[in-house]
Amino acid sequence: MDQYIGRFLDDRYEILEIIGTGGMAVVYKARCHRLNRLVAIKILKDEFAQDEEFRRRFRAEGEAVAMLSHPNIVQVYDVSSTLSANYIVMELIDGISLKQYMEKKGVLNWKETLHFAMQIAKGLEHAHSRGIIHRDIKPHNVMVLKNGSVKVMDFGIARVMSKSNTLTKEALGSVHYISPEQAKGGHTDNRSDIYSLGVVMYEMMTGRPPYDGESPVAVAIQHINGGAAAPSSLNPNIPKGLEQIIMKSMSLEIKDRYVSATEMLQDMEEFRKNPEIVFAYHTIVDDATRTIPTIPIINQRMTTADKKVQARTGQAPERSSEGARPRTAAQGSQIRHSTGQSAAVRNNDAPQRAQQRRKNQQIQQQRQQREERSRVATTAVVVCSAVAIIAIVIFLIALFNGVLLNQQKELVEVPYLIGDMYSEDMQDKYSDFTIRLQPGQYDDVYIKGQIMHQEPAGGSQVVVGSDLVITVSLGEEPETAVMENFTGSDGEETKTLLSGQGYIPVTKQEASYVYEAGVVIRTEPSAGSELTPGQTVYLIVSTGPDIITAKMPNVLGLEVSRAKEILEQGGFTNVTTEEVESLKPKGEVIFQSVQKNEEVDVTTQITLQVSKGPEETEPSTEDPWTEPEPEKVRVNFDLPEREEPYVLSIFQDGKEVVEAQEVQPGITSFICNLTGVGTVTYDLYIDGEYYTSVEVEYTR
């Protein structure tokens, strides 16, 4: 049995069961007895807890993340680092991880991908604005709730995990989603999270991550080298604009990625509004080829001084070619005679000196020519060697990744399908291939349903299981009208447009987490279908996310501030008050616009009428004696702490002075305004049974 199950942490959290295990911590389901709620507690494993520096950073990161508050981030409630346990307390999520969701559904469509990715990006945007970098974005750390929203987990924990920059098993637990700079152990910033989000989007759209290998190190090296296949090569149905967003996020160079999550969200929003958009920026997917970096050629040794200059300036110092040291006078010309020689002797030797100079010049010129030829030859040898090495490397890569691998796999011949009629049983008939359909096209040559294009071409040899992409003809373009694509358009505007074209639009409503309320989700008939004049067209329009309802509590007789507090706890945020004349004590709620126990939308406006209090009257002059006026005081009754809700009633002399109220778990006090004279005894009843009596003394 686990050592923590059944234990109490800090005399507050009771550990109930294990709900997850990670590389550095175990996650438990627990109950907070102070607030009477279920929570998730992540406890650091013992092998990490022994490191004091690790514990310190674990606590510091947890406290930083606890400051984050966003709908798409799992809330952190508490952080503790003691000798007995090091743990983080978080909200308990009722849902599954995005990884489990993807394993269940397979390849997601682009709408779901965009829906999830935008929420993740919004969570990252909030965290980055607070200086928190996740460093471990992956589907396992994203929770999908039942209402379709997502929450990102483990913010800041990945910062702790990057304590070591070596490619150990622990550091590479998320290697399929790691950024190149993380794989190299370099500096990371918010753009590292953007890269990982791009990888997650890639996997959602293709059903697999961009890089895979036999070992974590092999995958990390692929991230460092880059060159992932375009998502459209694996899923032809991915829109061009979304593919550009993914590939820009996954740019190998950090400077080529989105500057921030905000910038990425802007492009996502533009794509959401117009799925046909093609962005103007340049991404890897737009390249036809990728250049191979040149190899610098060094044909001479650098001195220590040269290396210091290069370290300071970033550039190697200029040097002359080999042997180009400062020449002495003996190397450049004949040694001059002593100035003490007579002019006559010098004049007599002039012809010999001139002849000797010419001879020396010829010798020097020949030496320079030999040096130049030697330099050119050396450079040519080095260049040829470098080119040969690069060619060998490319050949070996092609050989081992292509030819040799293909020898181990069974090759099949692609059938000739152009001109055949497409049928649903083609996948069974050609089981050696994965048949993928491209959007149909109108054509004057091929009749409707006839295959007009295939890729790869018939007769070619491919590996068993390869994709066979085919395009089916829609036949001749009809003279009748064709249904336009109104997905994402305003419902009312679309309805008006169709009416003006002579069709009968009928609106149907449907909840959606992808499209805002009032936006067209789809049409029936669908886009591209033929239409006849006067045809009925159904518009399925979004109502937004599902409505959240709650039961209206009874706040009559309560002081207005207490009534508002109870309503806020129940999720009602649209509460207004108005004062009215009443004999009830001032500030007491005497009317609520929604009856108690009625199930209503939490956004419904709740109006509370509050008493202004009875009007003050002068005592009669005819009566020589008047009774003292009752005094109104604010009374705080202590209540028991219980795990289940209960009903509280307050009586005075058998008369109910405070109408029955439902008390939620965790509430230990009840405040209300009461009036009286002298000492008054109030009897408290819980669920109709006597609980206690409280005496209240009024000064009048």
Name the 3-class secondary structure at 437.
strand
Which entry of 78, 136, 154, 193 is annotated as an active-site residue?
A: 136
Residue type, position 531, single letter: L
Look up residue 262 and give its amino acid.
Answer: T
Q: How far apart are CA 57 and CA 66, in angstroms?
A: 14
CA geometry: angle 153, 158, 159, nearest 5 deg:
125
- DSSP 3-state of 646: strand
Burial of residue 445 (CB within 10 Å: 0-12, 13-18, 19+) is exposed
**Phi and psi at residue 266, to the nearest 5°:** -60, -45
Local structure of 660: helix, strand or coil: strand
**Which helix H or strand E contains 79, and what residues bound it?**
strand 76-81
Q: Quick one: which of 640, 637, 646 has its CA closest to 673?
A: 637
Distance in angstroms (rounded) separating the CA atoms of residues 485 and 497: 13
Nearest to 41 by CA among 1, 83, 5: 5
Angle between helices 261-273 and 190-206 in degrees, nearest 10: 30
**DSSP state for residue 93 in the 8-state scheme:** P
Query: What is the rounded CA–CA span in Å between residue 270 and residue 109?
Result: 18
Annotated catalytic residue 638: no
Q: Can you tell me the distance from the alpha carbon of 118 to that of 162, in angstroms, rounded to the nearest whole number?
A: 26
- Any alpha helices (H) in 239-335, and if so which ranges? 240-249, 261-273, 304-313, 329-332
H or E element in which residue 373 lies: helix 350-398
The two tokens of residue 294 are 């040149």
Phi, psi of 656 (to 5 degrees): -75, 115
User: Are the beta carbons of 527 and 314 closer than 8 angstroms?
Assistant: no
Q: Helix, strand or coil for residue 269?
A: helix
467-473 sheet: strands from edge to edge: 434-441, 467-473, 451-455
Catalytic residue positions, numbered: 136
